[in-house]
């Protein structure tokens, strides 16, 4: 699971707005949701029980929004080389991610340079996070310190 070495941090000078800095896909299963429930302490049963999800009118068991938010930043962390370089991170939860008991769900992440602030040494990275070819997060932006 863990890499042996910490990746090097990219320089702000080498970036342009629109550059793709990272791209990744995450196959989620029901096991992923149970693991996240335990790790985060969010035991809302709509994230692991079909009967409860259906009783409140949902299309099925959903991934935790915070799991989607949490994994979507990982390709950026890998690119930046250090989780602490992410100094600000925000998302809007626009669509749910239903996780099929057999097929799971694949969430894809595309990270692009949205803006550069040379004075502050910060790159704004805009994330496009999709499931089934539709975006599931809106205004997903991270400010990454590269000084």
- Cβ proximity to another protein: between 2 and 133 the closer is 2
| Shortest distance in whole angstroms from residue 61 CB to another protein | 16
- Cβ proximity to another protein: between 116 and 137 the closer is 137
Classify residue 98 by its DSSP letter: B
d(CA 50, CA 28) in angstroms, rounded, equals 16
d(CA 20, CA 118) in angstroms, rounded, equals 18
Q: Which residues bind another protein (CB under 8 A)?
A: 1-7, 26, 32, 35-36, 38-42, 56, 65-67, 69-71, 73-74, 77-78, 81-84, 86-93, 139, 142
Phi then psi for 84, rounded to 5 degrees?
-75, -10
| Shortest distance in whole angstroms from residue 124 CB to another protein | 13
- Cβ proximity to another protein: between 38 and 101 the closer is 38
- Cβ proximity to another protein: between 16 and 95 the closer is 95
d(CA 59, CA 7) in angstroms, rounded, equals 40
Nearest C-alpha neighbor of 86 from the set 123, 118, 112: 123
């Amino acid at each position: 699971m863990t890499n042996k070495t910490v990746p090097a941090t990219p320089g702000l000078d080498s970036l342009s707005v629109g550059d793709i800095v990272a791209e990744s896909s995450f196959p989620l299963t029901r096991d992923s949701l149970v693991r996240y429930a335990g790790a985060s302490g969010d035991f809302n049963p709509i994230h692991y029980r079909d009967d409860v999800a259906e009783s409140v009118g949902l299309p099925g068991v959903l991934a935790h929004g915070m799991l989607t938010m949490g994994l979507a930043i990982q390709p950026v962390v890998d690119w930046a080389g250090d989780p602490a370089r992410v100094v600000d991170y925000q998302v809007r939860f626009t669509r749910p991610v239903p996780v099929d008991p057999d097929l799971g769900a694949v969430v894809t992440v595309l990270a692009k340079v949205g803006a550069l602030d040379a004075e502050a040494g910060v790159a704004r990275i805009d994330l496009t996070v999709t499931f089934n070819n539709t975006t599931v997060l809106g205004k997903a932006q991270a400010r990454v310190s590269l000084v």
